[in-house]
Structure 1
Amino acid sequence: MIRQRLRHLVVPLLSSVGLLVLVTGAGWLVDGGVGAAGGAAGVALVTFSYALSSLAVAWADSVHPKLVMSVGLTAYVTKFLLFGVVMFGVVDTGWGGIRMMAIAMIVATIGWVTAQVWWTFRDHRPQVSTPGD
């Protein structure tokens, strides 16, 4: 049942793989190896957090649809707290890849949301669950 609720994940995950390659390459050109690592880390962090949020919401919907809002909001707040903790933690180290990591996080977020919106408008299957689902 959860798999049916996650069919939207394919397009954003493929988009993230493409962005991972592009941003890692851009990071390499701009800041060398440390920039490539920062770019890859930024895309990976965003991809992981969005995929985890999707899994949490799909699980909540499979248990009871009334849980979706609270689980979704909790996942959203947790995601951005994680982003903040990671960024503040990395800034304090003086690591040279922080700039590309921040840029990659922005690009990956825009890419993920755009891919999900594109999928939503292209998917023509009914979104209403049938009785007994």
Structure 2
Amino acid sequence: MPSNDARNLLQIAVPTAAAGAIVVAVSAAVAGGKGALGAAIGTLLAILFMGIGLYVLQWTAKTLPQLFQAMGLMLYVAQLLLLLIFVALFKDTSLFNAKAFAISLVVATVVWMAAQARAHMKAKIFYIDPDSAKSEKTEKTGPSS
């Protein structure tokens, strides 16, 4: 992973993990050990799904830039459907607190998306190639007198 991608991932994953830790602590206080476990699983699942999605989008942008927007839309829909399936499968579980799991999943997903938007807005992305202007000779255009 190039350093810019790693820096971008760091700016996104750290706030998400911090928000997840807060939700785990609150869930532990409110619902005990099962609440903390549910919140931890929800946070880890959100980070895992969103991290894989970020990697796939970066790969698509580099290899198939013409499909980037369509892949982004498809990827977010697929992530939401997978999360919905996971929630539906474990809604009646006794392994962990389902409400703490769902709350942490939503909080981690929202924080991830907000941090991703912030990281994108703060990124210094060149819209032109600064090296191409230096390599070309300046040519006079128009009539010369």
TM-score by length of 1: 0.84
Residue number in structure 2 paired with 1:27: 27
> Alpha carbon RMSD of aligned pairs, Å?
2.1
**Which has the greater radius of gyration?**
2
Q: 1:65 to 1:129 in 2, by over 3 A?
A: farther
Please give the alpha-carbon distance, in whole angstroms, between the structure 2 residues aligned to 1:88 and 1:120. Answer: 32
Residue number in structure 1 paired with 2:127: 128
Q: 1:77 to 1:5 in 2, by over 3 A?
A: farther
Identity %: 25
Residue number in structure 2 paired with 1:52: 52
Larger CA deviation: 110-119 vs 41-50: 110-119
Q: 1:67 to 1:5 in 2, by over 3 A?
A: farther
| Structure 2 runs not aligned, ≥5 long | 131-145
Asked if the contact 1:5/1:58 (under 8 Å) is kept, the reply is: no
Q: 1:56 to 1:102 in 2, by over 3 A?
A: same
Q: Which amino acid aligns with 2:18?
A: G
Q: Which amino acid aligns with 1:15?
A: P
Asked if the contact 2:92/2:98 (under 8 Å) is kept, the reply is: no
Please give the alpha-carbon distance, in whole angstroms, between the structure 2 residues aligned to 1:20 and 1:121. Answer: 23
TM-score by length of 2: 0.78
Residue number in structure 2 paired with 1:43: 43
SS of the aligned residue for 1:92 comes to coil
Shift of 1:46: 1.1
| Structure 1 runs not aligned, ≥5 long | none
Asked if the contact 2:39/2:101 (under 8 Å) is kept, the reply is: yes
Shift of 1:31: 0.6
Judging by fraction of residues, say which structure has more helix: 1
1:5-54 residue CA offsets vs partner (Å, 9 max, x unmatched): 62421111111221222111111101101000111111111111111111
Q: 1:114 to 1:128 in 2, by over 3 A?
A: same
Shift of 1:74: 2.3
SS of the aligned residue for 1:15 comes to helix
Q: Which amino acid aligns with 1:50?
A: M
Residue number in structure 1 paired with 2:79: 79
Q: 1:76 to 1:24 in 2, by over 3 A?
A: same
